[in-house]
Every structure is written in structure tokens, then in C-alpha cells.
Structure 1
């Protein structure tokens, strides 16, 4: 029972920050989910939950989607998702924890630094970001940072970044769920997860008017960094 309550708490926090900042469910939730459920189940639950949240969040933002960037981003992601799935099915659990924690940690540090690269411009940049994001999403449940870096290098304003990130989240998580499958949760766990997602959406929207966006995003990244390094530590401990 304690594990189920912790699971719903993780989903609640992840959902809240996703609605608060337009990003962050996977970054915040994945490290905790893989500690609670194991690498495979934690990732596939993150894929399902993040995809559902993005579907709801995208409802009012269709007019801001940049199809010239989203088509190569999503097409590249579709090509690399199976590679991430293949990797996770062949690595021992300790190595999976280490790899996933490292991917989250490195991705967060790059976003915190606001990394810029000439390779992340135009169609070529979209293909690179989408390919890396698709692999990371299916392998570690975290596909957003490469798209964030692409948007940063492209100079997208926040009002355009959020719906495009949501659209990418819908597509890449759909491919990841198709490749990885769905988590084997009990009926009670599914109920708690769905309830936590709904409650998190309400909380996140209410907090959005009280917490400055930059401060909220920094909090999300710091939480993700803590979770990522914890997963790395557990992976190293198990080797």
C-alpha cells in the first residue's frame, strides 16, 4: 500500500509540474518511477502518463504548431524509438539504472547551461534532436531535453514552444508505448495514477498564476537532476 501511495505521489508531482511549466513530467517522475517500479516498468508508465498529459494539454494549441520542424523531429524519433527499446531489453537492471540516470543528468545539465550548437539549426537540427529524443524517450522515458535544446537554438518563444513540445510528446510517447508496451499495473494502481494525473493538472494550473515561470522551470530541472544522480548512484551500487 505504501508503494502505491508513493507511486501516486510521484505522478501527482510530475503532472503538476508539467501543467505548471509545459514540461517536466518525465524529468521529475522517471528517476523516482524507476526506483519504485524498476527501469522497464518505470519508463513505460512515464511514456503512457506523459503522452496522455500532452494530449490534453495540446487541445488549445494546434495553431502554434510548426509543421516544418515537427515533421522531421517526429519522423526521426520514430526511427530511433526501437533502438532505445532494444537497448533496455538487453542491459541488466543495474546498468539500466546507470544509463537512464546518466541520460537524465546530462540532459538536465545541458538545458541548465542553455547549450547552443550550430548542428541544432534548421531541418538538420530537427532531425538530430528528434532522433536523440526518440532514443532517450524509449530507453529512459525522457525525450524532451533534445527538443528543448533545439527550440532554444531556434529562438522559439515560450508560447510557441509549449504546444510544439506537447505535440512532439504525443507522437514520441505513442511510438514508445507501441514499442515498449504498457506497464503491468494493478487496477488499483491504474486508478491511483489516473486520479493523481487529474489532481496534478488542477494543482499545476492553480500554481501557474502564482509562481514565476523561470523559477518553476529551475525547480523542475533541479528536481530532475537530483533524481538522475540518485538513479546513477543506485546503478553504481548494484554493479
Structure 2
């Protein structure tokens, strides 16, 4: 892989890790479209899955006291099933359609977030939790974006921001590991061809992004952080969608 591409990947993972620490989610939604453009749909999503696991694993100890383990135990089993289904579908799709799916999923997530903020609807019970977990796992494997489904559930269930953001971190670790395991079984040749030093640098840059995010969190409101993530994700999603359509 060219050195310029490696530096682009490192820059994106830093920005994604900052967003993940500040807003609780956003790493995948922000980074996925750009990495898909840079590396191709399969390798881009594979790398997003790996980086998402690393960033969330780093954050888990920092938010441990706020994690809602009851909610985690409900969401996670269904997300694993969704991850298996999504990975099997992703392995059978060529680059262009998968790129279109990535862009479409992110755009749909952005639209859904804007609608749900104004919605006066409340959901309860176990079925919505199961559906959110399954959809999150499936979209994580397909597009590298697992946050929108559980984010939509959080808004409709009136799940408070602090335990929601904390619970997502171990949830993303487990869901991401399930997606990665399935992809190693189904499309192992799609692992990005980064040199060993670049993999180490990715981990170090994610750690640095998390530390920067902790400082940014003290001076930037959740509202402004989410707005930044949404704007960047919108640009990346449109670009990935157009790129996929042109490739077709």
C-alpha cells in the first residue's frame, strides 16, 4: 500500500477516535465512507471493523461505571446473529454495490437521526431491543456502521445519553469481533494489506485520538460534536454513493 494512503488512514482513525470519545459513537459513520473510497468497499469496511473494536476497547475502562449491563446483555446476542448474516451478504457482493450500500446506510442513518430528534414516540419492551441489536450487527458487517440502529432505539426508548454512550463501547467490541471473525472465515483475502508498522501506528493513533477526545469533551458540547460528525459523515456518504454508482 502507498505511503500516502497509509497516512490518510491514520489521519481518519484519529478523527474517528476523537468523535467516538466525545459523542460515544460516530467512529464508523464518520470514517467508513472515506476508507471505502480510499481502500475499496471490502477492505475499507474490514479496516473500519478492526479500528472500531480497538477504539471502543480503549474507551471501555474509562466509562465502566456508566455501562448498563442489563441493556448490553439484551442487545449483544442479537447483534452477533446480525453480524453473521451481514458478513455472509457482504462476502457475496462486488465492490460497487457494497460501496453504494455503505453510502446509503450512512445517509439513511443521518436522515433517521434528524427525524427522530423531532419525534414524539416512545418504545418499550424487548422486541425493539432485539431488532436494534440485530440491525446494528448486520449493518456493522455490511457497511462498517453499527451505531445508527441502536442510536435510533436510544432516542425512541428515551435512553439517557451517558449510559447509552458507555454501553455502546463493550457492545461495539463484541459486535465488531463477531464481524471480524466472520470475515476471516468468509473473505480472509480482503484484509487490508498494511505493513506491520502501520498496524501498530493505527493502534497508537486511535489511542491518541481517544486521549485528544477526552480533552475536547471538556470544552465542546455533545450537540456541537454530533453536528460535526453528521456533517463529515454526510459528505463521505454522498461521495461513496456517487463513486459506487459511477463504478456500476
Q: TM-score normalized by structure 2?
A: 0.90
In the TM superposition, residue 57 of structure 1 has moved relative to its aligned partner by 1.0
Task: Spell out structure 1 runs of 4+ moving beyond 6 A.
Answer: none
In the TM superposition, residue 23 of structure 1 has moved relative to its aligned partner by 1.1
Most deviating of 220-229 and 190-199: 190-199
Gaps of 5+ in 1: none
Pairing partner for 1:141 from 117, 123, 144: 144
Q: Output aligned runs, 1:177-216, within 5 Å.
A: 177-181=180-184, 183-216=192-225
Q: Would the aligned equivalents of 1:36 and 1:42 in 2 still touch at CA under 8 Å?
A: yes
Q: Output aligned runs, 1:86-105, within 5 Å.
A: 86-105=88-107
What is the distance in 2 between the residues matched to 1:43 and 1:162? 22
Q: Output aligned runs, 1:55-134, within 5 Å.
A: 55-114=57-116, 120-134=123-137
Residues 93, 119 of structure 1: alpha-carbon distance in 2 compared, 3 angstrom cutoff: farther
CA deviation string 1:46-84 (max 9, x = no partner) = 111111111121114334333332223111111121211
What is the distance in 2 between the residues matched to 1:20 and 1:119? 26
Counterpart secondary structure, 1:58: helix
What is the distance in 1 between the residues matched to 2:146 and 2:123? 16
Counterpart secondary structure, 1:155: coil
**Match of residue 221 from structure 1:** 230
What is the distance in 2 between the residues matched to 1:32 and 1:120? 34
Residues 98, 74 of structure 1: alpha-carbon distance in 2 compared, 3 angstrom cutoff: same
**Match of residue 32 from structure 1:** 34
What is the distance in 1 between the residues matched to 2:240 and 2:51? 20
In the TM superposition, residue 224 of structure 1 has moved relative to its aligned partner by 0.9
Gaps of 5+ in 2: 185-190
Q: Would the aligned equivalents of 1:120 and 1:128 in 2 still touch at CA under 8 Å?
A: no
Q: Would the aligned equivalents of 2:78 and 2:131 in 1 still touch at CA under 8 Å?
A: yes
Residues 238, 13 of structure 1: alpha-carbon distance in 2 compared, 3 angstrom cutoff: same
What is the distance in 2 between the residues matched to 1:228 and 1:117? 28
What is the distance in 2 between the residues matched to 1:128 and 1:219? 28
**Match of residue 187 from structure 2:** none
Q: Would the aligned equivalents of 1:120 and 1:129 in 2 still touch at CA under 8 Å?
A: no
CA deviation string 1:160-196 (max 9, x = no partner) = 1111111211111111111113544211321331232
In the TM superposition, residue 95 of structure 1 has moved relative to its aligned partner by 0.8
CA RMSD after TM alignment: 1.8
CA deviation string 1:8-63 (max 9, x = no partner) = 11111111111121111101111111111111111111111111111121114334
CA deviation string 1:184-234 (max 9, x = no partner) = 421132133123212212221121112111011111112111111111000
Q: TM-score normalized by structure 1?
A: 0.93
What is the distance in 2 between the residues matched to 1:131 and 1:92? 23
Most deviating of 219-228 and 193-202: 193-202
